[in-house]
Amino acid sequence: QKEVEQDPGPLSVPEGAIVSLNCTYSNSAFQYFMWYRQYSRKGPELLMYTYSSGNKEDGRFTAQVDKSSKYISLFIRDSQPSDSATYLCASTENSGGSNYKLTFGKGTLLTVNP
Amino acid sequence: EPEVTQTPSHQVTQMGQEVILRCVPISNHLYFYWYRQILGQKVEFLVSFYNNEISEKSEIFDDQFSVERPDGSNFTLKIRSTKLEDSAMYFCASSQTNRGGNTIYFGEGSWLTVV
């Protein structure tokens, strides 16, 4: 089955810590990799996306994809209490140019304590 | 910032009843989707819709489900005869193109409870 597996957490860190969130996937056809942030009972909010392997940085957030090991990571530097949320990784294929069918991980609940 | 809006935010319905969940996608978007998330489970793709027809659906999206774009702004998900296992958060999403998961924007969700 084409799946994305994610460390379940929950993860609790002190403010200012570096947070590492990780996923693995099994479908070699996945080409796009996303991280969404979801607050309780709210919709997923796109944080970052990466196409194929490599790193991408946006402020305090860095997304990393290693296609050889099928490993997806999100790093949060200088974590803040406002970063407390569930983080979802998601992937999609590049099938016929249609990349909208996202396969999500289950999510990791992160709490950043002041 | 443009957003996807959904109504109702929460609905409680009796088993066997019909439910319609409504969405207003972002105005210049052309592709529309429904996803769902059962409590404690993964967000799952249900269906995609483009040019007034379904472009893809998952195995979850059986004959009990239908989607419609009744006018130029709304996009609806209908569940004909709800079952207990339909209880979930339903997310509407939209994108301007069908390329790259980065362009998909989600609404706040409609929480459906079937009793």
Domains and CATH numbers, chain B: 5-114 (2.60.40.10)
**CATH 2.60.40.10 applies to domain A4-113:** yes
Q: Do B43 and A44 touch (CB under 8 A)?
A: yes
Q: Maximum CA pair distance of chain A?
A: 47
Question: Taking 80 as the threshold, does the pLDDT of residue B101 lie above it?
Answer: no
Residue-wise over A13-45: b if at least 16 C-beta within 10 A, else e? beeeeebebbbbbeeeebbbbbbbbbeeebbbe
Question: Taking 90 as the threshold, does the pLDDT of residue B115 lie above it?
Answer: yes
Q: How confident is the model at residue B103 (pLDDT cuts 50, 70, 90)?
A: confident
Q: What is the mean pLDDT of residues B38-67?
A: 93
How far apart are the C-alpha atoms of A47 and B96, rounded to whole Å?
18
Q: Does B47 touch chain A (CB under 8 A)?
A: no
Q: What part of B 50-69 touches A (C-beta under 8 Å)?
A: 55-56, 58
Q: How confident is the model at residue A4 (pLDDT cuts 50, 70, 90)?
A: very high
Q: Do A44 and B42 touch (CB under 8 A)?
A: no
Question: Taking 70 as the threshold, does the pLDDT of residue A97 lie above it?
Answer: no
How far apart are the C-alpha atoms of B3 and A73, rounded to whole Å?
27
Domain boundaries defined on chain A: 4-113
Q: Do A99 and B91 touch (CB under 8 A)?
A: no
**pLDDT digits over A52-66, tens only?**
888 999 999 999 999
Chain B residues touching A106 at Cβ < 8 A: 41-42
In the A/B pair of chains, how many CB contacts fall below 8 A?
68
Q: How confident is the model at residue B73 (pLDDT cuts 50, 70, 90)?
A: confident
Interface probe with A: pick from B102, B105, B108, most Cβ of A within 10 Å:
B102
Q: What is the mean pLDDT of residues A27-35?
A: 90
